[in-house]
Amino acid sequence: MDASEALRQGAGAIPTVLLNPEVQVGGCDSLSIDNVGGARAIVAHLIALGHRRIATVTGPAGNIDAHQRLEGHRMALRDARLEPSASLELRGDFTERSGYEAGMQLVSRRPRPTAVFVANDPMAVGVLGALQDAGVEVPRAMAVAGFDDIPMARYLTPPLTTIHVDMLALGQRAVHLLTTPCPDRTPRRETVPTTLVVRASCGSAPPSQAGSRPRWERRHAVSMPRRGGAET
């Protein structure tokens, strides 16, 4: 019996909520982070700043968060009629070390990207370290954006522009679903919204430095929670 089948059988007797599942399981409620919408919003922010050659550092192959955030990155590029380039998609594994290694690769690219969307904040920490070691000024020479808004993100140098995921709200909603079963036992599918947090790691694309720089921190809701009904 595989994990999905075990969950399906257990859900009939025990209230079950899946968090960010790779596949939906019949009989189980689920809560998902809006990875696609968050990534799409932060890359759109980079494009609005004038960046056109935008790299990304992805998460590990087979990881649902990594897959969805890469999808959002590509969607934002296509929204702006920019074709995603495999040469600007670097594989990471969600660790600082993989971010550092990817950052060093970005430094050597010619032409060098002017911005990079990093699929989680720990990798963004590594990218910032690599750029600092290579003498690449952020954000003047390269803008850096992350995802998750870990506590240290606001204290980095420069403070990191990122996507905030409210993990407390995620947990509270999961508890609510567990303790208030749907009367008709229809599985509920909900998406937790994300928020774009603009800090100092992203600026206008070089060589133009016209216009105002982002203030130290600004927050913008980029998605609304979606609550699903019956399974399809």
**Could you tell me the CA-to-CA distances from 6 to 18, 20, 28 in Å, in that order?**
13, 18, 11
- Angstrom distance (rounded) from CA 14 to CA 63: 27
What average pLDDT does range 133-160 have in this prediction? 98
Q: Is residue 18 part of a domain?
A: no
Q: Specify if 17 maps to a domain.
A: no
Where residue 23 falls among pLDDT bands split at 50, 70, 90?
Answer: low
pLDDT of 12 reads 54
- Summarised one tens digit per residue, pLDDT across range 41-67 is 999 999 999 999 999 999 999 999 999
Give the SS3 label for residue 181: coil
The residue segments making up the domain with residue 152 are 29-225
Highest mean pLDDT among 8-17, 73-82, 198-207: 73-82
Angle CA(3)–CA(7)–CA(13) in degrees, nearest 5?
155
Burial of 99 (0-12, 13-18, 19+ CB in 10 A): buried
Q: What is the pLDDT of residues 167-188, one digit of tens each?
A: 888 888 888 888 887 777 778 8
Confidence band (pLDDT; 50, 70, 90) for 17?
confident
Is residue 173 domain-resident? yes
Q: Is residue 7 part of a domain?
A: no
Mean pLDDT highest for which of 21-30, 196-205, 211-220? 196-205
Does residue 2 belong to any structural domain of this protein? no
Which pLDDT band, with edges at 50, 70 and 90, does 197 fall under? very high
207 phi, psi to nearest 5 deg:
-85, -10
Assess if residue 23 is contained within a domain. no
The CATH number that applies at residue 65 is 3.40.50.2300
The reply to whether 1 falls in a domain is no
116 within 8 A of 142, measured Cβ to Cβ: yes
Task: Let me know if residue 9 belongs to a domain.
Answer: no
Least confident piece of the model among 3-17, 102-116, 147-161, 211-225: 211-225
Domain count within the chain: 1
